[in-house]
Amino acid sequence: MDPVQVAADWGLKVAVEEFGDAARAVAAEYDPRLKTIRVNARVLGDRCDAAGTLAACVAHELYHHLEHIGCVRSRPGGRQREALADAYARRYFDLAVDPAQVRRTLER
Ligand SMILES: [Zn+2]
């Protein structure tokens, strides 16, 4: 299953955008109001596995969409919640790139 296709099937847009300096370390974000998954162009720019990176980011954000619509219980606490989103992404999609690794790349 391709997470980008799943996003489209669920009525979500996927947009690659420049996040700017304030959000340099954010790989992607889910905007429930605009039903959009925004992916930081910085994580894709210089990677030879850009397609895999995009898929990993979108798969992770799909979990936040499921939280938003109440299909999974939303939990407070940033780190644990992000780990759950990563686990969801790995479990349901055949990813070439680990979503947690994408974030670690940005934290450098
Ligand atoms: Zn997340």
Q: Could you tell me the distance, in angstroms and rounded to a whole number, from the CA of residue 44 to the centre of ligand 1?
A: 17
Question: Ligand 1 mean position to 22 CA, how many Å?
Answer: 17
Report whether 71 contacts 63 (CB < 8 A): no
Question: What residues are neighbours of ligand 1 (ion), with CB under 5 Å?
Answer: 82, 85
Gap from CA of 93 to ligand 1 centroid (Å): 16
Q: Judge whether residue 24 has pLDDT over 90.
A: no
Quote the ligand 1 centre to 61 CA distance (angstroms): 6
Number of separate domains in the chain? 1
The range of the structural domain enclosing residue 11 comes to 3-106
Q: Supply the pTM of this predicted model.
A: 0.93
What is the per-residue pLDDT for 94?
95
Q: What spacing in Å lies between the alpha carbon of 48 and ligand 1's midpoint?
A: 23
Burial class of residue 22 (count of CB atoms within 10 Å of its CB; 0-12, 13-18, 19+) = exposed
pLDDT at 108 over 70: no
